[in-house]
Chain A
Amino acid sequence: MSAAAWFKSRVGADRQAVRQSVDALPDGLWTKCPKCNEILFSKELEKNLRVCSKCGYHYRLTAWERIQITVDEGTFKEIEAGLVTVNPLNFPDYEAKIERDKLKTGLNDGMVVGLAEIGGHPVGLGVTDWFMGGSMGSVYGEKVARLFELATSRKLPVVMFTMSGGARMQEGILSLMQMAKTAAAVARHSKAHLPYIVVLTDPTTAGVHASFASLGDFIFAEPGALIGFAGARVAAQAGLIERPANFQTAEFQLEHGMIDRILPRREIKPTIIKVLDFCMGKEVTSDAE
């Protein structure tokens, strides 16, 4: 299925139009880079994987856009799409916010998981959309856990793209427990000698960074991505004043030994394939179902 057809089937053309209008100028042909203010031709931007050709700014991608540029064409099969959020704490306004983001993204949750092939390697794939700030609540954590369990039982690697502001505050302590749940699921996958590749994208902070996102055998990041323990607003609350200019960026994390490489968007897929070749070898890739 083509990207456009998939998107249409998921959310309908009207919602797609809403999403596109977010960062496009009125005629939709041109868009302004939020970092360097360069006016970019939308089609060129798409061709450049939504990276500014002038300053290298990496636009945030929707889950589908990420899948499209990552997997071998037509190989993605979503799983667990039927998991939906309830309001376990009866937290004020939570349902309304969930409904708003369902409309905005066409998704039931920010975490989208499925099976796909990358460079001919069958993998379990997790990608994230900017749904409730990419925050991890019960549905998100459950999807991650189920992805790792399925990958473990089918002897598949897991490739995970993270984009999250942290734990879903509206689900309180249950969100905190998703950190333990996902970390435990990674442990079992890892014990089965299966590779786990993480790509940290802007932003990956707090509860997600302090759980499955930091547990990859290979951890990559997009340039300039905000990556860190305290979410931006929590850090502001804590009054962290004296900090280096690159604090909590991909570059800071690389400098301090927390990630393997920074990968410009165009290099991500080829690098994942090299890693999968290294881990899985031919005999594994040919007979994995």
Chain B
Amino acid sequence: MPSKDWTVLDFEKPIAELDEQIAQIRRLTQEQGIDRSEEIAALERDRDRAIEEIFSKLTPWDRVLLARHPKRPYTLDYVRVIFDDYVELHGDRLYGDDHAMVGGIATLENRHVVFVGQQKGRDLKERQYRNFGMAKPDGYRKALRLMKLAEKFRRPVITFVDTPAADCSVDAEARGISESIARNMMDMSILGTPIISVILGEGGSGGAIGIAVADRVLMMENAIYSVIPPEGCAAILWRDPSKYKEMAAALRITSADALELGVVDEVIKEPLGGAHRSPEAAAQSVKSAILRHLEELEKIPIQKLVDARYKKFRSMGVFEDISKKKPHKEELSEPEAQEDQCEA
């Protein structure tokens, strides 16, 4: 039954129940040969209205659940729809091949591109194989190796971000997980080829930004982008892990927040009810957004592109400069705060 299905979120239950009713009538129609299409159409309208209503009231925590939805399309589900002739390439040439980070060469319409991204697993076995989408230094170094291939052969880079975090185990630390992420950000900032990153699901902290220093950063409507998972942040900052919902709101991790804060350039709308209800349509939306941005980026000379990329990340952050306050005639009057709010 849908209500006991662990792949259905609590707030999705009314939708799942209507889905089940529709499916049941369809089965009966087939078995009994009676036309009940009007009834089905009415139920489908009800269901779509329910989805719209539920999705108009989603809390930031609900978005977290959607970003981590067990049925959400993962990186390679997008790759299959978006690219043709994807040839996966393995290994960092230093230590090993990280299964949490995938990448290779592919074609996108009439272009050759390099693709890299984190890959999560669907079932328990695959999840372990993919290390829950948490890449180790080997993964970040593989990604950088492939991006440098792209630079060498003047092909654009597309990266897909979907990771709870980078791996922080003892062997990740021993091989320099910090260094690998830092190096990726540094080298991506001067990489001589266009880069587009798409936050597909979880944009988890350093694990995400380690492959997301791009000319254009796009974000799925129900993805999250955060410096720390809300559960961990509530435990650390408020010493109360039960306040993860409040923390999800306070951290401003939704796509709308990221857009407003100037951290992403565009939010890609998801199909009604989220990407998992129509993965094919979601992937087509991503594909057309990537193509649109690539067309713009390809017209820009490389040096200009790299300079603009620097300026883009350089201008992120909000602060004031009190040394720049205008000198006032009257000492008594409080100088006006000049907010140095930079936008990408």
**Residues of chain A whose beta carbon lies under 8 Å from any beta carbon of chain B:** 81-86, 88-89, 91-92, 137-139, 141-142, 145, 167, 169-181, 183-188, 190-191, 206-207, 209-215, 228-230, 233-235, 237-238, 240, 242-244, 247-248, 252, 256-258
Contact = CB atoms under 8 A, between A and B. Distances in A.
Given A88-B261, A139-B319, 13 more contacts: A86-B318, A86-B319, A141-B317, A142-B317, A167-B205, A173-B252, A181-B317, A184-B185, A207-B205, A210-B178, A228-B178, A234-B236, A256-B173
Interface residues of B, number: 58
Contacts of B313: 177, 180-181, 184
B314 A145 contact: yes
7 contacts: A85-B319, A173-B227, A176-B205, A177-B316, A179-B185, A211-B181, A256-B176
Interface in B314-329: 314, 316-324
Given A180-B313, A214-B176, A81 B323 contact: yes
Given A174-B263, A233-B236, A215 B186 contact: yes
Given A207-B227, A228-B173, A174 B232 contact: no
Contact of B169 (A138, A175, A240, A258): A240
Interface of chain A, helix or strand or loop or mixed?
helix
Contacts of A167: 205, 227-228
Contacts of B309: 184
Nearest to B176: A258
Contact of B314 (A181, A214, A248, A258): A181
B317 A174 contact: yes
A190 B182 CA distance: 14
Interface in B226-243: 226-228, 232-233, 235-237
Contacts of A88: 261, 318
Name, among B182, B206, B258, the residue most crowded by chain A CB atoms within 10 Å (CB to CB).
Answer: B182
B317 A183 contact: no
Nearest to B167: A229
A109 B310 CA distance: 24
Name, among B173, B174, B232, the residue most crowded by chain A CB atoms within 10 Å (CB to CB).
Answer: B173
A264 to B, nearest CB: 23
B172 interface: yes
Nearest to A143: B319
Nearest to B226: A173
A247 to B, nearest CB: 6
Contacts of A244: 170
A74 to B, nearest CB: 22
Contacts of B318: 86, 88, 138, 171, 174
B189 interface: yes
A229 B177 contact: yes
B257 interface: yes
A142 to B, nearest CB: 6
A137 B319 CA distance: 9
B39 interface: no
B227 A175 contact: yes
Contacts of A235: 168
Interface in B197-238: 205-206, 208-210, 212-213, 225-228, 232-233, 235-237
B168 A188 contact: no
A234 B228 CA distance: 9
A93 to B, nearest CB: 9
B275 to A, nearest CB: 21
A280 B259 CA distance: 43
B10 interface: no
B166 interface: yes
B183 interface: yes
